[in-house]
Chain A
Protein backbone atom coordinates (compact mmCIF):
# COMPACT_ATOMS: atom_id res chain seq x y z
CA UNK A 1 0.00 0.00 0.00
CA UNK A 2 2.86 2.36 0.79
CA UNK A 3 4.80 1.72 -2.48
CA UNK A 4 1.94 2.12 -4.92
CA UNK A 5 1.74 5.94 -5.16
CA UNK A 6 5.49 6.19 -5.90
CA UNK A 7 5.36 3.59 -8.63
CA UNK A 8 2.39 5.27 -10.25
CA UNK A 9 4.20 8.58 -10.11
CA UNK A 10 7.24 7.12 -11.86
CA UNK A 11 5.17 5.38 -14.49
CA UNK A 12 3.41 8.59 -15.37
CA UNK A 13 6.28 10.92 -14.69
CA UNK A 14 9.00 9.41 -16.87
CA UNK A 15 7.08 9.38 -20.15
CA UNK A 16 5.69 12.85 -19.44
CA UNK A 17 9.19 13.98 -18.67
CA UNK A 18 10.54 12.59 -21.92
CA UNK A 19 7.73 14.22 -23.91
CA UNK A 20 8.42 17.50 -22.15
CA UNK A 21 12.12 17.38 -22.90
CA UNK A 22 11.52 16.55 -26.57
CA UNK A 23 9.01 19.38 -26.94
CA UNK A 24 11.37 21.78 -25.21
CA UNK A 25 14.29 20.79 -27.43
CA UNK A 26 12.17 21.18 -30.54
CA UNK A 27 11.09 24.62 -29.45
CA UNK A 28 14.72 25.45 -28.73
CA UNK A 29 15.80 24.59 -32.28
CA UNK A 30 15.49 28.05 -33.85
CA UNK A 31 17.09 29.53 -30.73
CA UNK A 32 19.99 27.11 -31.09
CA UNK A 33 20.36 28.10 -34.71
CA UNK A 34 20.46 31.78 -33.81
CA UNK A 35 23.15 30.99 -31.23
CA UNK A 36 25.16 29.08 -33.85
CA UNK A 37 24.61 31.96 -36.22
CA UNK A 38 25.93 34.44 -33.66
CA UNK A 39 29.06 32.36 -33.17
CA UNK A 40 29.61 32.01 -36.91
CA UNK A 41 28.95 35.73 -37.43
CA UNK A 42 31.47 36.64 -34.76
CA UNK A 43 34.02 34.28 -36.27
CA UNK A 44 33.66 35.16 -39.93
CA UNK A 45 31.95 38.54 -40.25
CA UNK A 46 32.24 40.72 -37.15
CA UNK A 47 35.91 41.59 -37.63
CA UNK A 48 34.92 43.67 -40.67
CA UNK A 49 31.20 44.36 -40.36
CA UNK A 50 31.26 44.99 -36.63
CA UNK A 51 29.54 43.36 -33.68
CA UNK A 52 26.38 45.34 -34.39
CA UNK A 53 26.62 45.02 -38.16
CA UNK A 54 27.56 48.69 -38.26
CA UNK A 55 30.36 48.41 -40.83
CA UNK A 56 33.32 50.82 -40.83
CA UNK A 57 32.70 54.37 -42.06
CA UNK A 58 32.71 54.34 -45.85
CA UNK A 59 35.14 51.44 -46.04
CA UNK A 60 32.88 48.58 -45.05
CA UNK A 61 29.10 48.72 -45.46
CA UNK A 62 26.70 48.16 -42.58
CA UNK A 63 24.26 45.28 -42.87
CA UNK A 64 21.29 47.64 -42.92
CA UNK A 65 20.25 47.46 -46.55
CA UNK A 66 17.84 44.58 -46.97
CA UNK A 67 18.21 44.74 -50.75
CA UNK A 68 21.53 43.01 -50.24
CA UNK A 69 20.20 40.55 -47.70
CA UNK A 70 17.69 38.56 -49.74
CA UNK A 71 18.77 34.97 -49.20
CA UNK A 72 20.11 34.04 -52.65
CA UNK A 73 22.18 37.26 -52.86
CA UNK A 74 23.33 37.07 -49.24
CA UNK A 75 24.44 33.46 -49.56
CA UNK A 76 26.43 34.16 -52.71
CA UNK A 77 28.13 37.16 -51.15
CA UNK A 78 29.03 35.23 -48.00
CA UNK A 79 30.52 32.39 -50.03
CA UNK A 80 32.16 34.31 -52.92
CA UNK A 81 32.64 37.83 -51.65
CA UNK A 82 32.01 40.80 -53.88
CA UNK A 83 34.46 42.51 -56.15
CA UNK A 84 32.72 45.54 -57.60
CA UNK A 85 31.52 48.92 -56.29
CA UNK A 86 28.12 48.71 -54.68
CA UNK A 87 25.60 51.09 -53.20
CA UNK A 88 24.39 50.21 -49.71
CA UNK A 89 21.76 52.34 -47.99
CA UNK A 90 22.49 55.16 -50.40
CA UNK A 91 26.28 55.17 -49.94
CA UNK A 92 28.89 53.87 -52.36
CA UNK A 93 31.50 51.31 -51.33
CA UNK A 94 34.52 50.32 -53.40
CA UNK A 95 36.56 47.89 -51.32
CA UNK A 96 36.39 44.24 -52.33
CA UNK A 97 34.96 41.78 -49.83
CA UNK A 98 36.81 38.46 -49.68
CA UNK A 99 34.79 35.26 -50.00
CA UNK A 100 34.63 32.73 -47.19
CA UNK A 101 35.99 29.33 -48.12
CA UNK A 102 36.08 28.07 -44.54
CA UNK A 103 32.41 28.49 -43.71
CA UNK A 104 30.14 25.45 -44.10
CA UNK A 105 26.80 25.73 -45.87
CA UNK A 106 24.82 25.07 -42.71
CA UNK A 107 26.77 27.84 -40.98
CA UNK A 108 25.83 30.18 -43.82
CA UNK A 109 22.19 29.35 -43.07
CA UNK A 110 22.80 30.12 -39.41
CA UNK A 111 24.58 33.41 -40.16
CA UNK A 112 21.77 34.48 -42.51
CA UNK A 113 19.23 33.65 -39.80
CA UNK A 114 21.27 35.60 -37.27
CA UNK A 115 21.65 38.65 -39.53
CA UNK A 116 17.90 38.85 -40.21
CA UNK A 117 16.83 38.20 -36.65
CA UNK A 118 19.38 40.43 -34.95
CA UNK A 119 19.69 43.37 -37.33
CA UNK A 120 16.22 43.31 -38.86
CA UNK A 121 14.05 41.67 -36.22
CA UNK A 122 12.73 39.08 -38.66
CA UNK A 123 12.32 35.59 -37.29
CA UNK A 124 12.80 33.57 -40.46
CA UNK A 125 14.89 30.48 -40.03
CA UNK A 126 16.92 29.67 -43.14
CA UNK A 127 17.67 26.05 -43.91
CA UNK A 128 20.64 24.19 -45.33
CA UNK A 129 18.46 23.17 -48.31
CA UNK A 130 17.76 26.80 -49.13
CA UNK A 131 21.44 27.66 -48.93
CA UNK A 132 22.39 24.74 -51.18
CA UNK A 133 19.78 25.81 -53.74
CA UNK A 134 21.01 29.40 -53.63
CA UNK A 135 24.64 28.36 -54.09
CA UNK A 136 23.67 26.30 -57.15
CA UNK A 137 22.44 29.41 -58.90
CA UNK A 138 25.25 31.70 -57.74
CA UNK A 139 27.23 33.43 -60.36
CA UNK A 140 29.67 35.74 -58.58
CA UNK A 141 30.29 37.66 -61.79
CA UNK A 142 26.69 38.65 -62.26
CA UNK A 143 25.79 39.23 -58.65
CA UNK A 144 22.91 41.60 -58.64
CA UNK A 145 20.18 43.11 -56.55
CA UNK A 146 17.34 45.39 -57.45
CA UNK A 147 19.63 48.31 -56.87
CA UNK A 148 23.00 47.33 -58.34
CA UNK A 149 24.59 50.29 -60.04
Chain B
Protein backbone atom coordinates (compact mmCIF):
# COMPACT_ATOMS: atom_id res chain seq x y z
CA UNK B 1 0.00 0.00 0.00
CA UNK B 2 2.75 2.39 0.97
CA UNK B 3 4.63 1.68 -2.27
CA UNK B 4 1.49 2.58 -4.24
CA UNK B 5 1.38 5.93 -2.45
CA UNK B 6 5.02 6.56 -3.22
CA UNK B 7 4.56 5.65 -6.87
CA UNK B 8 1.68 8.12 -7.09
CA UNK B 9 3.70 10.91 -5.53
CA UNK B 10 6.68 10.16 -7.72
CA UNK B 11 4.73 10.02 -10.98
CA UNK B 12 2.85 13.22 -10.11
CA UNK B 13 6.08 15.08 -9.48
CA UNK B 14 7.58 13.76 -12.69
CA UNK B 15 4.48 14.75 -14.66
CA UNK B 16 4.44 18.24 -13.19
CA UNK B 17 8.13 18.88 -13.75
CA UNK B 18 8.18 17.56 -17.30
CA UNK B 19 5.86 20.33 -18.49
CA UNK B 20 7.99 22.35 -20.88
CA UNK B 21 8.69 25.82 -19.56
CA UNK B 22 8.95 28.11 -22.59
CA UNK B 23 12.23 29.91 -22.71
CA UNK B 24 11.87 33.62 -23.41
CA UNK B 25 14.14 33.27 -26.43
CA UNK B 26 17.28 35.22 -26.89
CA UNK B 27 17.11 38.38 -28.95
CA UNK B 28 19.81 38.12 -31.62
CA UNK B 29 22.60 40.67 -31.97
CA UNK B 30 21.87 41.09 -35.66
CA UNK B 31 18.87 40.06 -37.69
CA UNK B 32 19.11 37.60 -40.56
CA UNK B 33 18.33 38.32 -44.18
CA UNK B 34 15.24 36.39 -45.28
CA UNK B 35 14.30 35.04 -48.67
CA UNK B 36 16.11 32.99 -51.27
CA UNK B 37 19.44 34.63 -52.00
CA UNK B 38 20.89 34.56 -55.47
CA UNK B 39 24.48 33.49 -55.32
CA UNK B 40 26.79 34.23 -58.19
CA UNK B 41 30.37 33.10 -58.44
CA UNK B 42 32.71 34.94 -60.75
CA UNK B 43 36.34 34.62 -61.47
CA UNK B 44 37.99 37.97 -61.05
CA UNK B 45 41.69 38.14 -61.80
CA UNK B 46 42.07 34.44 -61.19
CA UNK B 47 40.26 34.59 -57.86
CA UNK B 48 36.78 33.16 -57.30
CA UNK B 49 34.45 35.80 -55.94
CA UNK B 50 31.03 34.92 -54.56
CA UNK B 51 28.24 37.43 -54.37
CA UNK B 52 25.21 36.73 -52.26
CA UNK B 53 22.30 38.96 -53.07
CA UNK B 54 19.21 38.80 -50.91
CA UNK B 55 15.80 39.67 -52.31
CA UNK B 56 14.73 43.28 -52.05
CA UNK B 57 11.22 44.64 -52.07
CA UNK B 58 10.72 45.91 -55.62
CA UNK B 59 9.48 49.34 -56.64
CA UNK B 60 5.87 50.05 -55.71
CA UNK B 61 3.51 52.99 -56.13
CA UNK B 62 0.43 52.95 -53.93
CA UNK B 63 -2.01 55.46 -52.43
CA UNK B 64 -2.32 56.10 -48.72
CA UNK B 65 -5.45 56.90 -46.73
CA UNK B 66 -4.68 60.61 -47.17
CA UNK B 67 -4.54 60.21 -50.95
CA UNK B 68 -0.74 60.55 -50.99
CA UNK B 69 1.35 58.50 -53.38
CA UNK B 70 3.60 56.20 -51.41
CA UNK B 71 6.67 54.70 -53.05
CA UNK B 72 9.93 53.30 -51.69
CA UNK B 73 11.19 56.90 -51.72
CA UNK B 74 8.61 57.79 -49.04
CA UNK B 75 10.18 55.29 -46.68
CA UNK B 76 13.76 55.92 -47.69
CA UNK B 77 16.12 55.81 -44.71
CA UNK B 78 13.45 54.24 -42.55
CA UNK B 79 12.71 50.73 -41.50
CA UNK B 80 9.14 49.57 -41.63
CA UNK B 81 6.70 46.82 -40.70
CA UNK B 82 4.44 45.59 -43.50
CA UNK B 83 1.33 43.46 -43.53
CA UNK B 84 -1.58 42.61 -45.82
CA UNK B 85 -5.22 42.85 -44.82
CA UNK B 86 -8.61 44.11 -45.92
CA UNK B 87 -11.09 46.18 -43.93
CA UNK B 88 -14.03 43.77 -44.18
CA UNK B 89 -11.98 40.76 -43.08
CA UNK B 90 -13.92 38.94 -40.36
CA UNK B 91 -11.26 36.53 -39.17
CA UNK B 92 -7.60 37.34 -38.59
CA UNK B 93 -7.43 41.03 -39.43
CA UNK B 94 -8.81 42.46 -36.16
CA UNK B 95 -6.26 40.41 -34.24
CA UNK B 96 -3.53 41.55 -36.63
CA UNK B 97 -4.57 45.17 -36.23
CA UNK B 98 -4.70 45.04 -32.47
CA UNK B 99 -1.28 43.35 -32.46
CA UNK B 100 0.11 45.89 -34.94
CA UNK B 101 -1.30 48.61 -32.66
CA UNK B 102 0.88 47.26 -29.87
CA UNK B 103 3.95 47.57 -32.07
CA UNK B 104 2.83 51.00 -33.22
CA UNK B 105 2.33 52.19 -29.61
CA UNK B 106 5.74 50.83 -28.63
CA UNK B 107 7.48 52.88 -31.34
CA UNK B 108 5.09 55.79 -31.67
CA UNK B 109 7.81 58.31 -30.91
CA UNK B 110 10.54 56.67 -32.97
CA UNK B 111 10.72 58.57 -36.26
CA UNK B 112 12.91 55.97 -37.96
CA UNK B 113 10.13 53.37 -38.25
CA UNK B 114 6.80 53.46 -40.06
CA UNK B 115 4.02 50.96 -40.76
CA UNK B 116 2.62 49.88 -44.13
CA UNK B 117 -0.67 47.98 -44.22
CA UNK B 118 -1.57 46.93 -47.76
CA UNK B 119 -5.19 46.26 -48.65
CA UNK B 120 -5.71 43.17 -50.78
CA UNK B 121 -9.26 44.32 -51.58
CA UNK B 122 -8.48 47.70 -53.14
CA UNK B 123 -11.83 47.76 -54.97
CA UNK B 124 -13.66 48.01 -51.67
CA UNK B 125 -10.88 49.63 -49.66
CA UNK B 126 -10.70 53.00 -51.34
CA UNK B 127 -8.87 56.01 -49.93
CA UNK B 128 -12.08 57.12 -48.17
CA UNK B 129 -12.69 53.70 -46.64
CA UNK B 130 -9.07 53.45 -45.47
CA UNK B 131 -9.15 56.96 -44.03
CA UNK B 132 -12.27 56.10 -42.00
CA UNK B 133 -10.62 52.86 -40.89
CA UNK B 134 -7.42 54.61 -39.81
CA UNK B 135 -9.45 57.30 -38.05
CA UNK B 136 -11.25 54.60 -36.10
CA UNK B 137 -8.00 52.96 -35.18
CA UNK B 138 -6.94 56.41 -33.97
CA UNK B 139 -3.48 56.36 -35.49
CA UNK B 140 -1.19 58.95 -37.07
CA UNK B 141 -1.78 58.95 -40.84
CA UNK B 142 1.85 59.82 -41.56
CA UNK B 143 3.21 56.99 -39.49
CA UNK B 144 0.87 54.12 -40.29
CA UNK B 145 0.02 54.05 -43.96
CA UNK B 146 -3.01 52.11 -45.18
CA UNK B 147 -2.40 51.47 -48.85
CA UNK B 148 -4.63 50.89 -51.83
CA UNK B 149 -3.89 50.76 -55.55
CA UNK B 150 -4.00 48.30 -58.40
CA UNK B 151 -4.97 44.83 -57.26
CA UNK B 152 -2.42 43.07 -59.43
CA UNK B 153 0.42 45.21 -58.20
CA UNK B 154 -0.59 44.60 -54.57
CA UNK B 155 -0.89 40.85 -55.06
CA UNK B 156 2.49 40.78 -56.80
CA UNK B 157 3.98 42.90 -54.03
CA UNK B 158 2.62 40.40 -51.48
CA UNK B 159 4.68 37.71 -53.18
CA UNK B 160 7.87 39.67 -52.75
CA UNK B 161 7.03 40.00 -49.05
CA UNK B 162 6.66 36.20 -49.00
CA UNK B 163 3.00 36.61 -48.07
CA UNK B 164 0.21 34.52 -49.54
CA UNK B 165 -2.72 36.61 -50.63
CA UNK B 166 -5.42 35.59 -53.02
CA UNK B 167 -9.09 35.79 -53.82
CA UNK B 168 -11.00 32.84 -52.46
CA UNK B 169 -14.78 32.89 -52.68
CA UNK B 170 -14.94 30.06 -50.16
CA UNK B 171 -13.00 31.96 -47.51
CA UNK B 172 -14.82 34.21 -45.01
CA UNK B 173 -14.64 37.69 -46.50
CA UNK B 174 -13.66 36.35 -49.93
CA UNK B 175 -9.89 36.59 -49.55
CA UNK B 176 -7.30 34.35 -48.10
CA UNK B 177 -4.10 35.80 -46.77
CA UNK B 178 -1.42 35.17 -44.24
CA UNK B 179 -1.22 37.14 -41.03
CA UNK B 180 2.50 37.74 -41.33
CA UNK B 181 4.23 40.93 -40.26
CA UNK B 182 7.41 41.64 -42.19
CA UNK B 183 10.26 43.76 -40.88
CA UNK B 184 12.05 45.60 -43.68
CA UNK B 185 15.38 47.40 -43.38
CA UNK B 186 16.51 50.65 -45.03
CA UNK B 187 17.77 48.73 -48.06
CA UNK B 188 14.46 46.98 -48.70
CA UNK B 189 15.70 43.64 -47.38
CA UNK B 190 13.40 41.40 -45.37
CA UNK B 191 14.93 40.99 -41.94
CA UNK B 192 12.15 39.33 -40.00
CA UNK B 193 8.86 37.53 -40.44
CA UNK B 194 6.41 37.28 -37.56
CA UNK B 195 2.93 35.82 -37.15
CA UNK B 196 0.73 38.84 -36.49
CA UNK B 197 -1.94 36.68 -34.89
CA UNK B 198 0.36 35.31 -32.18
CA UNK B 199 1.11 37.79 -29.38
CA UNK B 200 4.37 36.06 -28.41
CA UNK B 201 5.67 36.33 -31.97
CA UNK B 202 4.69 39.99 -32.06
CA UNK B 203 6.60 40.40 -28.78
CA UNK B 204 9.60 39.04 -30.66
CA UNK B 205 9.10 41.70 -33.33
CA UNK B 206 8.96 44.39 -30.64
CA UNK B 207 12.25 43.07 -29.23
CA UNK B 208 13.96 42.85 -32.61
CA UNK B 209 13.05 46.29 -33.97
CA UNK B 210 15.65 48.03 -31.75
CA UNK B 211 18.27 45.60 -33.07
CA UNK B 212 17.52 46.71 -36.61
CA UNK B 213 17.39 50.36 -35.58
CA UNK B 214 20.93 50.04 -34.20
CA UNK B 215 22.24 48.85 -37.57
CA UNK B 216 24.14 51.49 -39.53
Q: A47-B92, A96-B88 are in contact. Are A56 and B98 (CB under 8 A)?
A: yes
Rounded to whole angstroms, the CA-CA distance of A94 and B136 in the bound complex is: 9
Inter-subunit contact A47/B95 (CB<8 Å): yes
B74 CB–A CB distance under 8 Å: no
- Interface contact B138-A98, CB-CB below 8 Å: no
> Count of A-B contacts with CB under 8 A?
33
Pick the contact of A57: B88, B132, B138 (CB < 8 A): B138
Q: Which residues on the A side are within 8 Å of B97 (C-beta)?
A: 56, 59
A109 beta carbon closer than 8 Å to chain B: no
Given contacts A47-B95, A48-B90, A59-B94, whether A94 and B132 have CB atoms under 8 Å apart is: yes
Using C-beta atoms within 8 Å of the partner chain, give the interface range for chain A.
10 to 19
Number of interface residues of B (CB under 8 A): 17
Cα A58 to Cα B135 in complex, Å, equals 8
**B194: interface (CB < 8 Å):** no
Q: Counting CB contacts under 8 A, is B133 at the interface?
A: yes
CA distance A60 to B138 in the complex (A): 12
* B16: min CB distance to chain A, Å: 22
Q: Identify the A interface with B (CB < 8 A).
A: 47-48, 50, 56-60, 94-96, 98
Interface residues of B (CB under 8 A from A): 87-88, 90-92, 94-95, 97-98, 101, 132-133, 135-138, 172
Query: Can you identify 12 A-B contacts, CB atoms within 8 angstroms?
Result: A47-B92, A48-B90, A48-B94, A56-B97, A56-B137, A57-B136, A58-B135, A59-B137, A60-B94, A94-B132, A94-B136, A95-B136
